[in-house]
Amino acid sequence: MSEDPAGATWRSLTRFRDEPTPDLVVACSDGRFARAFEEFAQTGLGLDRCARLVVPGGPAFLAVDDGDWARRDHARDLLFILDALRIERAHLIQHDLCAYYQQVLGAEPADLGSRQRADLDLAEARLCEARPSVAVRRWRATVEAGAVVVAPC
Ligand SMILES: [Zn+2]
């Protein structure tokens, strides 16, 4: 039985570095993928550190079809991060088995991949229009033989 850490002081082993991090990862908050996405950022993208925007559905919020995407909360957060942290590259990650897509957006499992790719098209277009200086990189994560596989899409 572990001791309840509530109220205990904790100190990082990692040294704080007051330096810009030009990369941002936008990913889903699904905890099943959290460690794999962290590992992907570090070893797949080679990022020692990066900014993160972790929300249900990941970059899905960029593809909402209500005509005013930039006024939505997550979009305002994204634009703030891009500007305040001087982001140069945004990595948009979608993933298979996404509960947000299935439960909130009503996507059928068989259509999930094509729906997410279409949303990434729109997300990339909107992001490039809003902040042309930011390079957008698109990724899709799938589960294969018990491993998370992340590939460009
Ligand atoms: Zn998800």
| Sequence spans of domains, the chain | 23-152
Cα 101 to ligand 1 centroid, rounded to whole Å = 7
Is residue 85's pLDDT more than 80?
Answer: yes
Cα 72 to ligand 1 centroid, rounded to whole Å = 19
Q: Kindly state the DSSP code that residue 55 receives in the 8-state scheme.
A: E
Domain with residues 23-152, CATH architecture: 3-Layer(aba) Sandwich (3.40)
Cα 33 to ligand 1 centroid, rounded to whole Å = 8
Q: What is the pLDDT of residues 30-78, one digit of tens each?
A: 999 999 999 999 999 999 999 999 999 999 999 987 666 666 789 999 9
Cα 87 to ligand 1 centroid, rounded to whole Å = 23
Structure-token match 């957006």, residue found: 105
**Stretch (H or E) spanning 143:** strand 135-144
When mean pLDDT is compared across 16-25, 60-69, 71-80, 92-101, the lowest value belongs to 60-69
Cα 76 to ligand 1 centroid, rounded to whole Å = 20
Cα 132 to ligand 1 centroid, rounded to whole Å = 27
Cα 7 to ligand 1 centroid, rounded to whole Å = 31
Cα 32 to ligand 1 centroid, rounded to whole Å = 9
Gap between the Cα atoms of 7 and 61, Å rounded = 35
Is residue 121's pLDDT more than 60?
Answer: yes
Q: What is the pLDDT of residue 123?
A: 95
Cα 96 to ligand 1 centroid, rounded to whole Å = 7
pLDDT band at 2 (very low <50, low <70, confident <90, very high): low
Taking every pair of Cα atoms in the chain, the longest distance, rounded to a whole number of angstroms, is 52
Gap between the Cα atoms of 95 and 122, Å rounded = 17
Cα Rg of the chain (Å, integer): 17
Q: Across all residues in the chain, what is the average pLDDT?
A: 93
DSSP 3-state assignment of 81? helix
Is residue 92's pLDDT more than 80?
Answer: yes
